[in-house]
Amino acid sequence: MTMGVGRATRRMQGRSSMSVLLVSLLLLAAAAGVSSRATYTGSSTAGAGASVTTTAPPKKHVDGKKQQVPALVVFGDSIVDPGNNNAISTIVKANFAPYGHDFGADHRPTGRFCNGRIPTDFIASRLGLKQLLPAYLAPNLTTHDLLTGVSFASGGTGYDPLTAQLASVISMTDQLRMFDEYKARVRAAAGDAALSEILARGVFAVCAGSDDVANTYFTMRARSSYSHASYASLMVAHATAFLDGLLAAGARRVAVISMPPIGCVPSQRTLSGGMGRECSPDHNEIAELVNSGMGTAVDTLKAKHPGARVMLMDIYGYLLDMMVRPDGYGFRESTLGCCGTGMMEVAVLCNGVTSAVCGDVEEYLFWDSYHPTEKAYRILVDYVYDNYLKELIA
C-alpha cells in the first residue's frame, strides 16, 4: 500500500484539480445534459436497444450447491446493476471497454461497473440459481430469467430521490414499479403458484446509499442545508419507505446491504482526503449514522411485518479491513483503482481511449475509482453468504 500512496502522491501534482473538475463536469452533465429523465414508464421494452447479454439456463448444480431458493431479486445502485442503465438515457453507463475486461471468454462489457462479475452474480451462484443475474431491462430476457430472478438496480441511484434525478437514472421508487410489472409477467408466464413461491422463499436484496453520500451530499452539495445527522436521517427515512413498500408488495426474505466506508474509496480519497489521500472521516461518519439508523429501521419493519424476515447485512467493518489490510486478502493496492490513474476514473472517465488498465488487476481491490474488482466482490460475497444469507434462507 505504501507503493500505491507514493505513486498517487507523485501523480497528484497537476492532476488533482483537473480530476475534481472532470468529476464535477460528469455529474453536472448527468444532471442537466440529458434530455430525457430515466423515469420508468411501465414497460420493460425500454431495453429493446440495450447491449446486454443474458445468461443461458444454468447447469443443474451451480457451484456445487443445492438450490435453496427459487429466485434472487435485486434493487439498488451500480454495485448491483448488471446493465439496466444500458437501456436508459444517462451517461452513467459501463457498457464499453475497459469495463468487462475479465468478463467471460470474450471479455465483453455488459453494463456491469466492474472488470468482471458483480456481487449479485456471485450470490445467485452461491444460492444454486445461475452464474449471472440479468438486468430486468435486458432485451432478450427469458421466462427462465424471470423465474430465477433479475436485478432492477440502476447505477447512480440512491435512497434520496434527488440522487436519481441528478444522475438521470432509475429511482428506487421506479424500481418498485418495475417489480410490480415483474410480478405480473411471472404470473402470466408461470401462474400464481410460481409467483407465490418467489415471494415467500426468494431472496430480495437491496444495495444503495453510497451515491447519496458521495455525489448528492458532498460532490454536488445538493443537500448543503442538511447536517451529517439530518442527511443520514433523510436517507434512512427513504430507505425505510422503500423497504416497507417492498414488504407490502409481498417480499418475505429481504437482505439489506449496509453502507460501506465510502470515504475510503479511491475517488473520495482524491476529492476529500487531502494531499495524502486519506479516508474522508466526514463521508464515513454519515455512512455509520445511516447504518445505525437502518438497524433500528429493520427492527421496526420486522415488528410491522411479522411474517417477514428482514436482515441488515453489515459489510462496513469487513470492507474497511480489506481496505486497510489489503495484503491480508491477497491485494497489493487498495487506495487506487486499476483503471487509469486510479484516482478519479469511473464510468465515462474510465474508457479505452484515455484510461490504461493496470498490469495485474488481481493485485487491486478497486477496478475503477469507485467500484471493487471481481476478486474483491467474490471475497465480500463469501463473507456475506456465510455470516448472513445462510441464516436468512435457513
* CA angle, 216 then 222 then 227, to 5°: 90
* CA angle, 256 then 137 then 255, to 5°: 10
Nearest CA among 63, 171, 160, 156 for reference residue 117? 63
pLDDT of residue 357: 97
- Would residue 35 count as lying in a domain? no
- Would residue 249 count as lying in a domain? yes
DSSP state of 302: H
**CATH label of the domain that carries residue 143:** 3.40.50.1110
Model confidence at 32, in pLDDT bands (50, 70, 90)? very low
pLDDT of residue 41: 55
Nearest CA among 285, 294, 169 for reference residue 217? 285
pLDDT of residue 68: 77
- Would residue 199 count as lying in a domain? yes
Helix (H) or strand (E) segment spanning residue 205: strand 203-207
- Would residue 47 count as lying in a domain? no
Q: Residue 65 sits in which domain range?
A: 2-30+60-393
Nearest CA among 386, 279, 196, 260 for reference residue 5? 279
Average pLDDT, the chain: 89
Most distant CA pair in the chain, distance = 62
- Would residue 292 count as lying in a domain? yes
**93 vs 110: CA distance, rounded Å:** 10
pLDDT of residue 67: 59
Q: How many domains does the chain have?
A: 1
Of the two residues 192 and 52, the one the predictor is more confident about is 192
- C-alpha separations of 387 from 32, 311, 324, 349 in Å: 42, 11, 21, 36
Question: 3-class DSSP state for residue 340?
Answer: coil
Q: Note the pLDDT tens digit of each residue in 42-89.
A: 555 443 333 333 334 444 344 545 457 999 999 999 999 999 999 999
Is the pLDDT at 13 greater than 60? The verdict is no
Q: Note the pLDDT tens digit of each residue in 374-389.
A: 999 999 999 999 999 9
Instruction: Select the highest-mean-pLDDT range: 24-33, 40-49, 199-208.
Output: 199-208
Model confidence at 106, in pLDDT bands (50, 70, 90)? very high
- Would residue 291 count as lying in a domain? yes
Burial of residue 41, with CB atoms counted within 10 A of its CB: 0-12 exposed, 13-18 middle, 19 or more buried: exposed
Residues with catalytic roles: 78, 368, 371
pLDDT of residue 228: 98
Is the pLDDT at 23 greater than 60? The verdict is no
Q: Which residues of 300-313 are buried (b: 16+ CB within 10 A; e: fewer)?
A: ebbeebeebbbbbb
Q: Note the pLDDT tens digit of each residue in 282-316.
A: 999 999 999 999 999 999 999 999 999 999 999 99
Helix (H) or strand (E) segment spanning residue 6: helix 2-12
Q: Note the pLDDT tens digit of each residue in 351-363.
A: 989 999 999 999 9
Is the pLDDT at 22 greater than 50? The verdict is no
pTM over 0.75: yes
Q: Over pLDDT 90: what percentage of the chain? A: 82
Backbone angles phi, psi at 335, to 5 degrees: -105, -10
